[in-house]
Each structure stands twice: as C-alpha cells, then as structure tokens.
Structure 1
Amino acid sequence: MNYKNILGFRIAQLRKENGWTQKQLADKLNVDNTTISSWELGKNDVPTAILVELAKLFDTTTDYLLGLSE
C-alpha cells in the first residue's frame, strides 16, 4: 500500500472514530468535502499544512497518518 492509500485510510478511520462526516471534517479544515473524499480515496496529495492540522485534530502524529509508525 502506498502512502496516499495509507494516509487516506487513516484519515477516514480517524474521522469515523470521531463521529465526523466528511463535511464536518472539511468545515474544520476550511476545505470542500470533495477534497476530503479525494484524500480518503488516495486521489490527491494532502498539503503539509493540512497534514499537520489533521494530526492536531485527531490527536495523533503526522508519522502515524503517513504510515511511518503505528
């Protein structure tokens, strides 16, 4: 599995664990919900600044999101 797929899987997993819809997460990040969908499907790269914000929102590390740690 490549990093885009791992990242997308982990974003979706953590979003669901927090009980958020794609729209709710999108609102927290000031992006469109289609952007969240494209990240979760591994279609587009997540900008570095957003990756850091995701780690903060999910109370995890960027390494975990990228699949570099468990």
Structure 2
Amino acid sequence: MKLHLRLRDLREDRDMSQAAMAKLLKCSQQTYSRYESHTTEIPLESLIFLAEYYDTSTDYLLGITDQIKPYPRSNEN
C-alpha cells in the first residue's frame, strides 16, 4: 500500500474529514487532498506529525513495513 492510500485509510478510520486533517497540519484542504491523491509530495515535518498523530511509524506510512505499531522509542537524547 502506498503513502496516499494509508493516509486516507487512517484518516477515514478516525472519521475525520480532509478539512479537519488539513487544519491540524496547518495547510489548506486542497493541499491535503493533493497529499492523498499523490499529486503533491508531503513535507517531512508533516509526515512525522502524521506518524505521531496516528501512533505509527513513518516506515508504515511510506509502505516500507506493514507493521502498524510504532518502533519503541529510545530514552536517549
């Protein structure tokens, strides 16, 4: 599954509109729609935000892994 499909599925699983997600990302609904339609690349900062918001990893969002659970975080700084 590709990034744009996972973004849509995760958003819809939470019964969120594109407009509501765009507001969280501080972008327009049109921009967010382009992320989901894969016509615009998503900025790294937004990708990280979404991984944290959905409690998953960027690797899952990007389709590198099918493991939805995030990796354990290190307590080291």
TM-score (norm 1): 0.90
Unaligned 5+ runs, structure 1? none
Q: Which fold has the larger relative contact order, with Cα–Cα distance below 8 Å and residues 6 or more apart in sequence?
A: 1
2:30 paired with 1:34? yes
Cα RMSD after superposing both structures: 1.0
* Matched residues, number: 66
Which protein has the larger Cα radius of gyration, Structure 1 or Structure 2? 2
Aligned equivalent of 2:65, options 58, 64, 69: 69
Give the fraction of aligned pairs with identical amino acids, expressed as a percent.
Answer: 35
Unaligned 5+ runs, structure 2? 67-77
Greater share of helix: 1
TM-score (norm 2): 0.82
